[in-house]
Structure 1
Amino acid sequence: MLMNGWKAKLYQFVEFVTLLAVLQMMWIGLTILGAVIIGITPATVGLFMTTRKRLQGEDDLKTLVKIYWKSYKTEFIASNKIGLVLIGIGYFLVVNFRIVTAMNGMFGLVMLTVMVMIMVLYALIVMNIFQVFAHYDLPFSRYFSASVLLTISFPVQAVASILGLFLLYRVFLIIPGLLPFFGISLTVLFLTWMSSKTFHLKGKLDGTLDVETMSS
């Protein structure tokens, strides 16, 4: 039976909320399946790929679940390589940050300022790299350079993403009961939506990324 008016909108809303909850549970399950350490990165990449398909118009729950599982298996090794590099860089930055904070005088202040700027850039790269990975098929090292260029080329979008994440953080802080069901899936959906706008504006990223591949 076809529905229209407020009933149709209510049904679509419930369906969308159900999808977010299912994707969240899958993210948790697939992360645990990979013993957390080697499961969290492919689970996150798979979630970005699935939400991208949803934003492109795919709304069948069974199809999206299949896409998620296939993406998890297909990108398991490649995504973990990226995860290992990010962890390595993050550890290096934390160690150096502790060293810099122990320095005194003007030189210490300058080094601290530089380190903070580098760590902010690193955080933005972490925020963008999985979106680039989900949208494009690139050589391994290009994902990092593409993420840097994306951050530098669109600072307004980067700031908007940060503000959006902060608002989501406040919502989850006020209503913590949402976190187990929508914390990750809603955050990834927001970032995917933001990245789709950014990729559409740029058209081409680093001379090789064609926006037309988004519809492939």
Structure 2
Amino acid sequence: MELTGWRGSLYHYMDWALKLAYLNILWLIGIVIGAGIAGFFPSTVAMFSVLRKWAQDEGDELKVFVHFKNEYKREFLKSNKYGYSWAVLGLILYVDLQFFRGIPTIWALIVSLFFFILGAIYIVALLYAFPVYVQYKLTIKQYFRNCLLIVLSNPLFSVLMVLGFYFPYYLMIKIPGLLPFFGGSLISLVLMMISNKMFTNLEKNKKARESIS
């Protein structure tokens, strides 16, 4: 018998809470298995892959553990290369910004402002990094280009992505006991849902342009 009313709503939210907690535990186990440094990116990719299925209502028959394990193994090398490419890029931007901030001249101030803007774009693009990775099959260079284009061409969704990261993150800071169960999965779910909506809009716009031409 299907529950209705407040009982149905309560069951729905409890079911999602349990699924997210389970997925978060798998994510943490994946990180530990990879000794942290090699496990973070494939584990995160596997988590986003599961969330993508859920966000697109493809997860009714999904065997979460099996799917997570298969994605973790399949994407282990490529996801690490992808993730650490993002890390190196972020480090370069940070070092350049700090370098020019330490020079007390007008031109250095202008250059540091330029790197600050690049850093802000980088941070927002980073929020798209894993949703784009699990949505499309591209080269690493194409992933970077698409993330950048998405940020620049979809400012509204970019603002939503920042808010979608900030509010769950703020909740975790205020209630640290939630971290082991929802620290990664809740934030990732929000980012994946916003990204999935944006991907749908992009596909609709693409089809509309093709029909006109």
Q: What CA deviation, in whole Å up to 9, does each residue of 1:131-171 have, x standing for no partner?
A: 11110111232111111111111011101111222222222
Question: CA separation in 1, counterparts of 2:178 and 2:132?
Answer: 27
Question: Cα RMSD over matched residues?
Answer: 2.0
Question: CA separation in 1, counterparts of 2:136 and 2:54?
Answer: 17
Q: Establish whether residue 48 from structure 1 lines up as the match of residue 54 from structure 2.
A: no
Deviation at 1:61, TM superposition (A): 8.1
Question: CA separation in 1, counterparts of 2:30 and 2:100?
Answer: 38
Question: CA separation in 2, counterparts of 1:60 and 1:32?
Answer: 28
SS in structure 1 at match of 2:63: helix
SS in structure 1 at match of 2:138: coil
Q: Which runs of 4+ in 1 moved over 4 A?
A: 59-62
Deviation at 1:97, TM superposition (A): 1.8
Question: CA separation in 1, counterparts of 2:167 and 2:84?
Answer: 29
Contact 1:54 1:64 in 2 (8 A): no
1:29 matched residue in structure 2? 29
Deviation at 1:25, TM superposition (A): 0.5
Contact 2:51 2:189 in 1 (8 A): yes
2:172 matched residue in structure 1? 172
Q: Establish whether residue 101 from structure 1 lines up as the match of residue 73 from structure 2.
A: no
Alignment gaps of 5+ in structure 1:
211-216
The TM-score, its normalising length taken from structure 1, stands at: 0.88
Question: CA separation in 1, counterparts of 2:133 and 2:84?
Answer: 15
Deviation at 1:62, TM superposition (A): 6.3
Question: CA separation in 2, counterparts of 1:89 and 1:200?
Answer: 29
Aligned pairs (5 A) from 1:78-93: 78-93=78-93
Deviation at 1:60, TM superposition (A): 4.6
Question: CA separation in 1, counterparts of 2:199 and 2:58?
Answer: 19
Number of residues paired by the alignment? 207
Deviation at 1:173, TM superposition (A): 2.3
2:181 matched residue in structure 1? 181
The TM-score, its normalising length taken from structure 2, stands at: 0.89
Question: CA separation in 1, counterparts of 2:6 and 2:128?
Answer: 37
Segment of structure 1 superposing worse, 12-21 or 163-172: 163-172
Compared CA separation, residues 79 and 10, structure 1 to 2 (3 A):
same
1:120 matched residue in structure 2? 120
1:9 matched residue in structure 2? 9
Compared CA separation, residues 176 and 131, structure 1 to 2 (3 A):
same
Compared CA separation, residues 110 and 27, structure 1 to 2 (3 A):
same
Aligned pairs (5 A) from 1:192-207: 192-203=192-203
Contact 2:48 2:130 in 1 (8 A): yes
2:69 matched residue in structure 1? 69
Question: CA separation in 2, counterparts of 1:103 and 1:59?
Answer: 54
Q: Percent identity?
A: 31
Alignment gaps of 5+ in structure 2:
208-213
Question: CA separation in 2, counterparts of 1:80 and 1:13?
Answer: 33
